[in-house]
Structure 1
Amino acid sequence: MFSIKAEFFVSPTFFSLHSKAEECMSYLRETNLTHLPIVDESNLFLGSLLAEDIETLEDSDTLEELGYELEHFQLIYASDISLFETLNLFSSNDTNILPVVDRHRKLVSLVLKDQVLSFWNETTFIDEPGEYIVVSKKYDTYSLSEITQLVESNNAKLYGILILSREEDYTYILLKTNQINTNAILDDLRRHGYIIDSNNIDDMYRNELKERSNYLNKYMNI
């Protein structure tokens, strides 16, 4: 259920470091993309350039002048690309496009943020009524399977888990349950060393979290 659907893959338009800035900006304005994936002569993925950086070039300039600015976020093509992994990549790289490469690093398709968010908004994680809880723990001590067990051992259902961010030594995790035995779940999480950062809609931390995570702010009513 939480995998990227085949229809989300979009055929790429290929640009190289020899492409002219004018041509690239025309494409970026038409598509409203934040980044432009760049390939070599064999369509091997080299990285992506920020649209704002390309705008600084003269129309006749080539992208070679920005070769040192290439960003290397990407998805490896598979039949079960994780929806959560995809959302995290969009958020952590402040982008609305993800290049998809095969095992040879050839650019084979693109995934666009708007399409993924549209699907995300229809998942049980968002659509089903429930309780959102934000917890944190040192990054080398948390366990998603442990969190799942703690929720389900209290006869509750876990609709999903999303790793929101890592700050200093801590990982911040969002989970959604079906609102059954919430207090018991929180007590068990605390006993296992998890810090409860938010389980209240008015919590100040959640407001800060919403500001940092625009896609959650727009598509999750928390």
Structure 2
Amino acid sequence: MVAVELINHMIPPLKPSDDGHKAIVWMEELRTNQLPVIEKGKFLGFITEEIILEENDSKRPIRDYFLDGEDCFVIEHQHFYDVIKVATEHDFQMVAVLSETGGFQGVIAIEDTINAFAESTAIQEPGAILVLLMNQRDYSLAEISRLVEAEGARILSSTVNPDPKDMSMLRVTLKLNKTEISHITASLERFGYRIIGRFQEEEIKSNDQERFDLLMRYLNI
């Protein structure tokens, strides 16, 4: 799923001529503490509740406030993983979506992206998750796939991240289409792969917080 498909059209942008009071009212109605500001179709940044309250003058037009997060955006065809990454880097609840030519398309709320991840095929299809730790020079997804498929299973998705404790090592996260994986782990270990985490289906779907933690683990953020 790409960014343009996740735009929340219920979140309107503000104009520089709008005042801080209007921004606060909209934030309260939408239950957020930040809103995008645009001028002539161009994204200028976000106005936040904190910025307005610090100035202690909600009658001022938005153009007179400092705007934050002017770099907190993605291009419309970027993957939703990129949306999560940009939001996390800027510590924002939402990310602006721009066209290839820089035109403002809308914003994505971080909750919408998490929901999209939770609804993706790789999550919804029954299966377990394995996390492998290996030296970078030993990584071969083709070889891992061969071993998994030899045990009658398939890899639905895979993510590769450097190990935070040793940058010469990789953490390879695999979502499989099987819930019973003892024979798969035995096969991988027999061929020298080190398994540092395994998550069964019932553990994966236990609650929303665990799905969020899983997403963070996938993105290594």
Q: 2:51 aligns with which of 50, 53, 57?
A: 53
Show the counterpart of 2:65. Answer: 65
Distance 2:28 2:7 in 1: 20
Q: Give the C-alpha shift of residue 33 in structure 1.
A: 2.8
Between Structure 1 and Structure 2, whose CA radius of gyration is higher?
A: 2
- Equivalent of residue 98 in structure 1, options 95, 99, 114: 95
CA drift at 1:186: 5.5
CA shift at 1:101, angstroms?
A: 0.3
Task: Give aligned-pair identity as a percent.
Answer: 15
For the 8 Å contact 2:35–2:48, the answer to whether it is kept is yes
**For structure 2, which runs of at least 5 residues remain unmatched after alignment?**
201-207
Give the TM-score normalised by the residue count of structure 2.
0.65
Partner Cα separation in structure 2 for residue 189 and residue 46 of structure 1: 52
Q: 1:33 to 1:61 in 2, by over 3 A?
A: same
Counterpart of 1:184 (choices 171, 184, 187) is 187
Offset at residue 107 of structure 1 (A): 0.7
Q: Which residues in structure 2 correspond to 1:1-222 (within 5 Å)?
A: 3-4=1-2, 8-11=6-9, 13-39=12-38, 41-58=39-56, 59-63=58-62, 64-67=64-67, 69-78=68-77, 81-135=78-132, 148-154=141-147, 155=149, 156-162=153-159, 167=164, 170=167, 174-179=173-178, 180=181, 181-185=184-188, 190=193, 197-199=196-198, 215-216=212-213
**TM-aligned CA distance change 1:7 to 1:28, over 3 Å:** same
Cα shift at 1:173:
5.5
**Are 2:94 and 2:107, in contact at CA under 8 Å, matched by a contact in 1?**
yes
Match for 1:44: what amino acid?
K
Q: Is the CA contact (8 Å cut-off) linking 2:73 and 2:95 kept in structure 1?
A: yes
Structure 1 unaligned spans of 5+: 202-209
Q: How many residues align?
A: 197
Distance 2:192 2:54 in 1: 50
TM-score calculated relative to the size of structure 1: 0.65
Give the alignment's Cα RMSD to 1 decimal. Answer: 4.0
Relative to structure 1, the CA distance from residue 85 to residue 118 in structure 2 (aligned partners, 3 Å threshold; closer, same or farther) is same
Give how far 1:117 is off: 3.0
